[in-house]
Amino acid sequence: MSKDILATYDELVSAVQEARYRYYVLSDPVLSDQEFDALFRQLEQLEKENPSLLRPDSPTQQVGPPPGGAFLPYRHLTPMQSLDNVFDRGELGDFFVRVAQKVGDRQVVYVCEPKIDGVAVNLIYRNSVLEKAVTRGDGTTGEEVTLQARTVVDIPKRLNPEADADLLEIRGEIYFPLAEFRQMNEERIAGGEAAFMNPRNAASGALRQKDPRMTAKRPLRFLAHSLGGVYSIDAGANIVPSGKTMFSRHSDFLEWADKEGFSVPKPTKKVTGLDEAWGAVEHFTAERHRFPYEIDGVVLKADELSLHGQLGSTARAPRWAIAYKIPALEKETKLLQIEVNVGRTGKVTPYAVLEPVVVAGVTISRATLHNEDQIHLKDIREGDLVIIRRAGDVIPEVVKAIADHRPEGLPVWNMSEKCPFCQEPLVKPSDEVNYYCENIDCPNRVVESLIHFCSKGAMDIDTLGEKTTVVLHDMGILNNIADIFKLSEHVGTLEELDGWGAKKIENLLQAIETSKQKPLDRLLVALNIRHVGSVVAKELTLHFPTLDAIRSATVESLCVIPGVGEKIADSLTAWFANQNNASLLEELVKLGLRTDVGADPGSAEGGKPLAGKTFVITGAFFGMTRDGIKEKLESMGAKTAGSVSKNTTALLVGADPGSKLEKALALGVEIIREDALDALLSAK
């Protein structure tokens, strides 16, 4: 064997071990998931081609790194293995072939379930009482995190005594719910703190806090996915395998765990054969962003537990299960340049110009950097190799620079003193992390405000798209929001635009006319008032149902509204006090825009099944987005609010609800669970 192969092997082993240590122990990865998977598979392939290389301490023979030493070690009663991964249908088919070779013609039923991306933990119950919680570690020995795990609200502290075992192991993942993770990062960014890279790292960091009171401050959750072992304690106080069979199928265990109060993977699908399995994989992959937690794959497990013993395991993974890895949400690429955009409220947002890279099926060439503070906190520089992340409909962001690969001499990036679009000085308020262009005539700010005004969440003039808006602004026809409602005076110009015929112009003018009857909260969102989004606008109109009432409201009267603090109240009163804004509103009123609360045109306010009712939504709903539920409710005449109050008709509760549920219970507000949602939305 050549020295080059030996050197390559040693380098790969060292690189994988270092990456694992940084990922599992330090919660500070240096590689994206895709890069790590590629490195690991390269090591596996080299060992396959050169079997004499394989050694016991190879990462391919281990589940993870040894415990880091921050907590007491604990040796697992039954090893906590990892799962082998497959990346396409062909590799999944190979798994089915291997199983068939072991079991013959016997039909195997598999349970397909979403693979949560969290921190693997083993819970040990002695006589039905939680005794220990232990991380996976290297699969043989983990670290005891019992005090930290006790702060996780959905880890039962006691099981029903029917659990017929002296000692019982329940295995699963501690995770950070996505909604709370995004909210926490938004708050950290607004407060000038570095955002966490991803939910898995945030969960790991919280669980590894030495002081469990710090762990308790994070909304961690636990999802049980496997039975570890069932044990008896003999006369000599020795822990021995029980020999009792609590369940005959994995699906029976999940049903039992659900009744015991554990969260379990939902939904699951039972399949037989490759075609059904691949159909389940495609389904879960398409629905990955519907879950309240992050999933990075789909797991197939033989349902009959008797098959687990028959199929056995390798040194690190069972042969009765496999994990299909969904395309990664994180990728590495090069940051070519940092540029800035000036938005509709004047906020200046830096963004990264990237070497294009495909992330979760979408080519990404731009990603947000949030603000100058985040760039400095993460030490991101032009020319860096960076990790970018794209999750669902969230704007792609740069989450980390890989400083180890940084070329020498890359300078620190700082915000320009002047707006790149109008050359006016940029201003950074003392209580904010963002810079602003205060020039309301800044050309980019005007264009962004026009685009936002016509957007779906605002006045919904979808016929007037971004491209046309830019063209008409450059031609001097659209200089402010009021000009949108004067486009009927420019039919001749519209006819000269490429692709604009009589029918399209007619549709545009009709959409503009229809938008005049949008209710007040939509107008407030459309006006580009700093810090006023759809939730705040709804709350405002619940308390002040006319534009005049909002205009005359004081800071004090605004601050009593849920979700409206002093910063938002100051922003509102300052916006309405501005003479240019006052003149704009007067012109909009003259042009016929409505200035009160009401249903969309074409409906009688009392003629819809949910008219007069107010709903608040919390948690995640499988198969529907919260925005989709909100739109459906409002189409049925209901109002939706961002916070629970005594005026709330009902709280709609999905998976992993937040503090809104506690408040609703305290106020006696009706709770509508996900299983009753269809009945509500189909009301006549």
From 151, 32, 7, 9, select the one nearest 405 (Cα to Cα).
32
Provide CB contacts within 8 A for 671, sequence distance 6+. 650, 651, 653, 661, 664, 665
Contact predicate 376/350, CB 8 Å: no
Contact predicate 630/522, CB 8 Å: no
Q: Give CA–CA dist 309/296, Å, rounded.
A: 27
How many other C-beta atoms lie within 10 A of the C-beta of residue 63?
22
Query: What secondary structure letter does DSSP report for 612?
Result: T
Q: How far is CA 306 from CA 311, 324, 549, 591, in A?
A: 9, 23, 70, 75
Coil/strand/helix, residue 323: strand
Query: What secondary structure letter does DSSP report for 523?
Result: H
Q: Give CA–CA dist 51/48, Å, rounded.
A: 6
Segment (H or E) for 122 = strand 119-126
Residue 115 among the catalytic residues: yes
Q: How far is CA 464 from CA 243, 520, 521, in A?
A: 70, 21, 21
- How are beta strands 129-135 and 321-325 bridged, if at all? unpaired
Cis peptide before 267 (omega within 30 of 0): yes
Please write down the long-range contacts of 256-262, taking CB distance under 8 Å and 24 or more positions apart.
257/170, 257/224, 260/156, 260/159, 260/160, 260/163, 261/154, 261/156, 262/154, 262/155, 262/156, 262/170, 262/172, 262/222, 262/223, 262/224
Q: Give CA–CA dist 357/355, Å, rounded.
A: 6
From 518, 188, 210, 503, select the one nearest 373 (Cα to Cα).
188
From 577, 579, 346, select the one nearest 442 (Cα to Cα).
346
State whether the Cα torsion 592-596-601-606 is positive or negative: negative
Q: Which of 3, 48, 115, 516 is catalytic?
A: 115
Give exposure, 641-662, as e/b (b: 16+ Cβ within 10 Å). bbbbbeebbbbbbbbbbeebbe
From 600, 611, 661, 674, select the one nearest 637 (Cα to Cα).
611
Which sequence positions are flagged as catalytic?
115
